[in-house]
Structure 1
Amino acid sequence: MSASETTSRRQVGWGIVLMLGASVCYALMGVSVKIAGRDLPLLTLLLGRSAMLVVASFLLLKFRGSPARPGNPRLILGRSATGFVAMGFYYYAITQIPLANAVTLQFMSPLFVAFFSAKLLGERVGTTLLLCIVLAGIGATLVVAPDLSTFGGDSLFALAAAVLAGVAYVMVRELRKTDTPETIVFNFAVFSLVFSSPAVFLLDRVPTPVEFAALVGTGLFAFGGQILMTYSYRLLEVAFASVFSYSTVLFSALFGFVALGEQPTLLAALGAALIVGTGVIVSVAERVPPAP
């Protein structure tokens, strides 16, 4: 095996690990939103996340020596606006429907990522990869099959979030040519803070210690997921990395059981196995080169 092949395999491996780490963070973020959103208004949740994200991303920006000013302002603005609306839709869905349902529906976004990356970026989407995306989607559905009867109007917000997230993730892929991950995340955080700041005027009480801790957790886990996801997309093709983001459903089921008392089912176990299995198949069988 040549040195270049070894490097490529190592980059693919790290890209997968980063995406799995992002999935863990996003699952924990969902639990935090569920807890904080029991009594706090939606805009307050967005403000709490955005405030934490601005602080964390600014510190990382300085630590890495990355510029705050974006290299592609228009695309950064589009990514930030799309991501903010998607975040609002997703948080609303979490507060209105079961957590597992919201997570699963929103994380159908990899299907849209694969579609948009092929149409807009001209990336190769092989047959094996497409099949794995479909199978992973089926697995995600099995995880929440017992609760599908609750599908209604509120669930449409999670689906809308999935579409918008797909667009935002493709923008992240394109932004790698002009901006660092730290710059992308920091500008998104600032945009979100500005547009969620009206929540200050809507607060009629001080959050309880539990609510405050959940708000802090929402921001910290969101930051972790954001930066890990951004780095993963710099190492992997968008559609390839997207398959592994389905593991968020698996981690959400686990954390939902531990933190929220949600009971796993046989169908959920089968779905989880299908999700993990497709990830293994892609990593072994699909020869997709890492991003330069």
Structure 2
Amino acid sequence: MNDQPLKGALLLVLGEGLLAIMAAMIKLLSDHLDTEVIVFARNLFGLLFLLPIIMQRGGFRQLRTANIHLHLIRAFTGVTAMFCFFYTIGHIALAEAVLVKMTVPFFLPVVGWLWLREQIGLRTWVAILVGFVGVAVIMRADSGEIDPVMWVALAGAAIMSIAKVSIRRMAVSEPPQRVVFYFALFATGFSALPLAWTSTVPVGTDYLWLIGIGLVATGGQFAMTTAYQIASPGQVGVYNYSSVIWAALLGWMFWGETLVITTLLGTLLIVAAGVWNLKAPRSG
């Protein structure tokens, strides 16, 4: 039930913090490992960490579902977006990668309209416009020198919105552990395919980092999925933006990254538009 906003907010902040730590680990490995290896390891170890939790919560009997097609859609789009995001992390500042990922809420209404026939109000259109102005500022479109990596990040956000809408379709019948399990299972399979084209192999302590990525990713995913099960997006959605603070802090601590004034301005526009969008009335 949507009646625990404080707990939901805390879980969301925790989940975003864990995913920011995951992003920092990915950035550390990206200088010598291909994205394909990191994505596969994240999903494989995430699945392995998940299995004991599933067994403790009733075993595989709890995993029966009539929505395999939605789980497949969610896994395929989620893995594709993951490839985009992980690649982006290795090539631009951590906070900037997270910021562009935060455009997912601006794609969601469009995907919801196309797929679920949800209406888009004027207030939401304004939020979308302001949000993408913020993205344009971050991408430095006015200088005519847009880093191609930014387009990869934006494509990942658009694809991720499809995965998010598929979760919404399953919200009534699928508990968090079932959603997380099928994503981990199918995502591991999907992400194994590109390994045929990779040329890098983890060595030594790389395996510890990859295991850590799987562990914190699973924890973060559980925390965020549960947060939206016990509180509505309008109550806790704004705490998604804590990811920017986490990422900026980690980027500064480990890589000396700082946000230039244009990035800060774009951040303000994206966050303001996101909060405005959260307060917009929803209609089916």
Q: TM-score, normalised by structure 1?
A: 0.77
* 2:94 aligns with one of 77, 99, 105: 99
Q: Aligned-pair distance for 1:190?
A: 1.3
Quick one: distance in 1 between partners of 2:82 and 2:25?
14
Task: Check the 8 A contact 2:78/2:160 in 1, yes or no.
Answer: yes
Q: Which amino acid aligns with 2:257?
A: E
Match of 1:70 in 2: 65
Identical-pair percentage? 27
Task: Check the 8 A contact 1:132/1:243 in 2, yes or no.
Answer: no
* 2:214 aligns with one of 210, 219, 229: 219
Q: Is 1:233 aligned with 2:236? A: no
Quick one: distance in 1 between partners of 2:109 and 2:85?
20
Q: Is 1:86 aligned with 2:86? A: no
Q: Specify every segment of 5 or more residues in structure 2 that has no aligned partner in the other structure, as ranges.
A: none
Q: Is 1:18 aligned with 2:14? A: no
Residues 145-204 of structure 1, C-alpha deviations (whole Å, 9 max, x = no match)? 69x876333322211110111110111122122211111111111112223335389565
Match of 1:113 in 2: 108
Match of 1:41 in 2: 34
Q: 1:119 to 1:21 in 2, by over 3 A?
A: farther
Q: Aligned-pair distance for 1:53?
A: 0.8
RMSD, aligned CA: 3.6
* 2:25 aligns with one of 3, 15, 32: 32
Match of 2:152 in 1: 157
Quick one: distance in 2 between partners of 1:271 and 1:279?
12
Match of 1:58 in 2: 51
Q: Aligned-pair distance for 1:92?
A: 1.7
Q: 1:50 to 1:24 in 2, by over 3 A?
A: same
Q: TM-score, normalised by structure 2?
A: 0.79
Q: Aligned-pair distance for 1:79?
A: 0.8
Task: Check the 8 A contact 1:114/1:238 in 2, yes or no.
Answer: no
Greater CA deviation, 116-125 or 258-267? 116-125
Task: Check the 8 A contact 1:247/1:275 in 2, yes or no.
Answer: no
Task: Check the 8 A contact 2:127/2:273 in 1, yes or no.
Answer: yes
Quick one: distance in 2 between partners of 1:275 and 1:159?
13
Quick one: distance in 1 between partners of 2:132 and 2:16?
15
Q: Specify every segment of 5 or more residues in structure 1 that has no aligned partner in the other structure, as ranges.
A: 1-6
Q: Which amino acid aligns with 1:59?
A: P
Q: 1:286 to 1:74 in 2, by over 3 A?
A: closer
Q: 1:179 to 1:273 in 2, by over 3 A?
A: same
Match of 2:169 in 1: 174
Quick one: distance in 2 between partners of 1:115 and 1:270?
25
Task: Check the 8 A contact 2:37/2:200 in 1, yes or no.
Answer: no
Residues 49-73 of structure 1, C-alpha deviations (whole Å, 9 max, x = no match)? 0122102222222222262333311
Q: Which amino acid aligns with 2:70?
A: L
Match of 2:248 in 1: 253
Quick one: distance in 2 between partners of 1:286 and 1:204?
47
Aligned length: 279
